[in-house]
A and B are shown apart, each in its own frame.
Chain A
């Protein structure tokens, strides 16, 4: 379809810079004592690593820089982390919980 081809799904690469869109909010819920990701009609409970990733995806870091930060936090080699993080960020982006900060992407 012509209309659809004008909007392309985001392909996440190490240099991609992503952030939470305005309609997606990460918050710690004191009553339930857990982290929540709020989106229209959906509420998710990200696990600890996902929370870290989402916090680091603040629109200033590239995915590679997010991995560098994680490598430090978890004292793990970056090449072990990067492939997993790209899959996770890609999945979150495909579902609309993260978006590229470059306009038009």
Chain B
């Protein structure tokens, strides 16, 4: 009767084959890059946006109404840490006022009972809390934040107590994959409706820390088995959404459902990005909600139009039968690994670089370097 594939809205909402974009469905709002945690896998860019450059409350409120007018149905308040914005409750209320479904994606370390009550009052629909492991020692080392794990457990309890449905966001990599079964149990115990088992995707800080994070092939096989078993066992109790690591994949992921097709992101400073990592691609100029209406940007921004549809493709994508399914994979990964955002995503087995990145993954995983470059405003950014 209904189709429920992950991150993909029902196919009836998708733009038709051959059309470059339709009505946008969901938007990730990175309201700030400030965050008390320092996860080495953070997908934020190495050049974190300074607080002074962030959009003001009234800008976000206007943007939220423009989003609803444009056809957007869901907004995800994210960051950085969205709770680091003092006006977060006001922003959620504005989203509700505009008729948008809102989700809070948070580290949970500064979610108090009072703030949760205020968010509920403001109409927030759902809370998603990230976890770095199943116990404090690993989790707090990965997050680079003392006592973070304990605070998250408490935040998850308070979230449920406030009547919110909860998604546990389990971000997995070589240094915590062995804790996956316990993390799934933890999600059940916390009363979560859903767990996102998300293997790290290598952009931003995660790319910088790839050698410390890349899982072994063996770990991924175990992970696949654990997820399949848990899906079976926990049917009707816990929904599991699974993001596989694409360095070991055969086909690339359909990144963001296609560049500028149905989803986009807004950066803390108001830039409209086709995905959260798009600013890593140099030579593209992203338009800002400070300068244009969202309706104009969605249809006319040169950066959004650059890789829309299939016309920009070169071989092997150009004549590939899968081109309208995966749109050539991820542009950011193509840029990072092939040096050309217009190339086939090297995660695809048809890419000439595929074997090489597979070997890089294996080699880095085997070398087992555990050291992290923590994500913060102080860690030096190469090339600066």
Contact = CB atoms under 8 A, between A and B. Distances in A.
A69 B85 CA distance: 48
A76 interface: no
B194 A96 contact: yes
A46 B2 contact: yes
Contacts of B103: 40-41
B189 A3 contact: yes
A80 interface: no
B13 A96 contact: no
Interface string A15-39: 0000001110100010110101110
B4 interface: yes
Interface string B186-205: 00110101101000000000
B9 A42 contact: yes
A41 B188 contact: no
Contact of B236 (A9, A31, A36): A9
Contacts of B188: 1, 3-4, 7
A4 B125 contact: no
A75 interface: no
Contacts of A4: 185, 188, 233-234, 237
A83 to B, nearest CB: 15
A88 B12 contact: no
A23 B125 contact: yes
A81 B37 CA distance: 53
A95 B239 contact: yes
Given A31-B71, A40-B165, A41-B7, A91 B1 contact: yes
A93 B12 CA distance: 22
A37 B74 CA distance: 11
A1 B73 contact: no
A44 B235 contact: no
A8 B238 CA distance: 10
B97 interface: no
A60 interface: no
Contact of B9 (A1, A43, A50, A93): A43
Interface string B1-34: 1111011011011000000000101100000000
A55 interface: no
Contacts of A21: 165, 193
B101 A9 contact: no
A45 B208 CA distance: 40
Contact of B13 (A3, A43, A94, A95): A43
B316 interface: no
Interface in A72-100: 88, 91, 93-96
A7 B192 CA distance: 11
Interface in B250-287: none
A47 B125 contact: no
Interface in B145-201: 163-165, 167, 185, 188-189, 191, 193-194, 196
Contacts of B189: 3
B368 interface: no
A1 B233 CA distance: 9
Given A22-B165, A23-B165, A88 B128 contact: no
A94 B3 contact: no
Given A25-B125, A29-B73, A40-B103, A10 B236 contact: yes
Interface of A: 1, 3-4, 7-10, 21-23, 25, 29, 31-32, 34, 36-38, 40-47, 50, 88, 91, 93-96
27 contacts: A4-B237, A7-B237, A8-B237, A9-B235, A9-B236, A10-B236, A22-B125, A23-B164, A25-B125, A29-B71, A31-B71, A32-B71, A36-B13, A37-B2, A38-B125, A40-B103, A40-B125, A40-B126, A40-B128, A41-B103, A43-B9, A43-B26, A43-B74, A44-B3, A44-B10, A50-B2, A96-B193
10 tightest A-B contacts by CB? A9-B236, A43-B9, A23-B165, A45-B10, A94-B236, A23-B126, A45-B12, A38-B101, A40-B126, A44-B2
